[in-house]
Chain A
Amino acid sequence: MSDQRAELPRATRAGEPPRRGGRRVRHAVSAALLWTVALIFLLPLVYTVATSLKPAGEVFGSPPTLWGSELRWRNYAEAMNYLPFERFILNGLLVAGVGTAVVLVSSSLAAYAFARLRWRGRDSVFLTFLVTLMIPQEVLVVPMFILMLQFGWVDSYQALILPWAFTAFGAFLLRQFFLTVPRELDDAATIDGAGRFRIFWSVMLPLARPSIAVLAVFTFITYWNSFLWPLIITTSVETKGTVPLGLSLFFSQQGSQWNLVMAASVVSMVPTVALVLLLRRHLVSGIATAGLGGR
């Protein structure tokens, strides 16, 4: 994969018409334009950060200013103190972390059973998994809510985590990857006396590390950002709320204090942005496998 990527700029250059004087200039102009577009695109995010550091009186005005007369870092402390934001962050980390762990364990195990084991009913079970991918979450929220009532799980961490920890997507993604692993590796391990679990653990999982990393990051982000379900199932936001819920509550109570609302927004963005920046080298190839696995 990395070879291919390294090759591409060279190849693209070679593909273009023979060198002419204007070509380099045109390319530079195009690059400058593109970066301008990127900066304009990012303005709302910059505006979020800038507003989070403004004094309250300077948030709006004409002409609008990006930066205030001072950098008011205290906004962050005030926003964090108004609602128990540490609590929301911890809740979010707990829910997203445990949820991701459950997703990884259950989907990698199932993927192995689908890709490598022979058992009666395997293909129909797999087909059922695929069909469920078409059902929108919104069809499920009402019965899920009733189910949670029956379990006595309303307003609990398990209700935030478990209902969405067994979707078919992860099993499908990893199955597609396991199928590309040469069977000779399994056979060699079998000859060395490894059992099924040993093969799964010591042969397949290490090979699948990139796919698992992509699955983990996107699962974590989905949990962290999730809004509709926590809105439905969490009744005591102050103790069980996750970050988007806290943010929404904060907005409904302090909607006029935009500098504080934006400070809370910036905090909510940090973990996911950090994860994506960490993953940036694998982002395109990861999306290629995770996204296009379904086609």
Chain B
Amino acid sequence: MSVESDRPLRDPVPARRPAAGGRRPGPGAGGRAGAAARRKRRGEFGTAALFASPAVIGLTLFTLFPIAMSLVISFFDWPGFGERSVVGFANYADLLAGDHFHRVVLNTLLFTVLYLPLNIVVSLGLAVWIATMGRGRQTLRVLFFIPVITPIVANVLVWRMIYQPNGAIDGLFGVFGATAPNFLGDENWAMLALVAMSVWQGFGYNMLIFSAAIDNIPATLNEAAGLDGAGPWARFRHITVPMISPAMFFASTMTLITTFQVFAQPYLLTGGGPGVATETLVLFIYRQGFSSYALGAASAAGWILFILIFLVTAVQFAVQRKWVNYDV
């Protein structure tokens, strides 16, 4: 694949070179500035087209076009098979009026509200803690990162064993003659169980981002603060946090975006249940689109998801000026 793709590029370029050389009196004579100025004037559209076209064509076909198409579909009653008809905003109106969809949006928001702070606290706490270690810190970082890269399906399956009645936790309770709550089947527990599993599997990524940022804090800052008698908490509060605030902003923004898209955990752990207690937006979209084949409604729900993500991200960008420090 890779060989095939770069062959068309390889040929035109050498073919172009004599022409380019001919137009140029020689690099020495014109000088660098002259060549650059000429390049600027004429542009390098042909060369650029060769370099950029695979990505541009691919992105147009597989991203831009589907985006436009998705918008169009969302205004249709678009069954998997059979007649399609324009329905205007009816898909959106139906979704926004429906109790089921309200619950799904609430579930997604609840998941996010629980997951995001926990993720940030755990990943930041561990990143700071690991940074105080001398030997072994690289190993520790890799260990906490592992569930991020193991297939989520595999991660979810082992947590099912841990959560389910007669599972590992229930077995531990049994030692004391007690019975564990039915984590996946009890309305009060199911969402918490999803969040706990997701934090376990996901926080390692942010921990690495924070670790990289902490590694870049100049040691002299901490030295000076230490000489001035600042304790660990004061140094964390007044040096570490401001210094890594751009990383914290980045991590919380990216995590928020991906949190809204949670799918595999509810799909495989609870099936969205009990009832619809853990059905998230993406699970809803999946079911609308590929179980009910209501492709119009699924597209509309996708756009509502995008608007939600966009709004929350915009708010985050708006408030970042208050706490993110770029002066370093």
Binding site for B on A (CB under 8 A): 4-5, 7-9, 11-17, 27, 30-31, 34-35, 37-38, 41-42, 44-45, 47-48, 51, 59-64, 98, 101-102, 104-107, 109-110, 112-114, 117-120, 122, 125, 128-129, 132, 134-147, 162-168, 171, 187, 190-191, 193, 195-198, 200, 221, 224-225, 227-228, 231-232, 243-244, 247-248, 251, 258, 261-262, 265-266, 268-269, 272-273, 275-277, 280-281, 283-285, 287-288, 291-292, 294-295
Contacts and interface: CB of A to CB of B under 8 A. Distances in A.
B260 A232 contact: no
Contact of A120 (B45, B69, B136, B212): B45
A268 B177 CA distance: 36
Given A15-B223, A195-B14, A285-B212, A62 B51 contact: no
A15 B226 contact: yes
B225 interface: yes
Contacts of B25: none
Contacts of B45: 119-120
16 contacts: A12-B131, A15-B219, A31-B136, A45-B150, A105-B6, A106-B54, A112-B51, A117-B51, A135-B63, A145-B295, A167-B59, A225-B152, A232-B286, A265-B154, A269-B150, A291-B212
B113 interface: no
Instruction: Give the secondary structure class of A's interface.
Output: helix
B275 interface: no
Interface stretch (B97-105, B161-169, B181-189): B161-169
Nearest to A250: B157
A215 B134 CA distance: 29
A134 B303 CA distance: 12
Interface in B120-143: 126, 129-136, 138-143
Contact of B226 (A16, A51, A166, A295): A16
Contact of B170 (A14, A62, A132, A135): A62
Contacts of A34: 129-130, 133, 140
Given A34-B133, A132-B63, A143-B66, 12 more contacts: A8-B215, A34-B140, A62-B174, A64-B168, A98-B1, A106-B58, A117-B51, A136-B305, A138-B282, A195-B17, A292-B250, A294-B250
Interface size bracket, B side: 35 or more
Nearest to A51: B161
B268 A135 contact: no
B150, B205, B299, B302: most-surrounded residue (chain A CB, <10 A) = B150
Contacts of A162: 58, 62
Contacts of A8: 215, 219
A51 B161 CA distance: 10
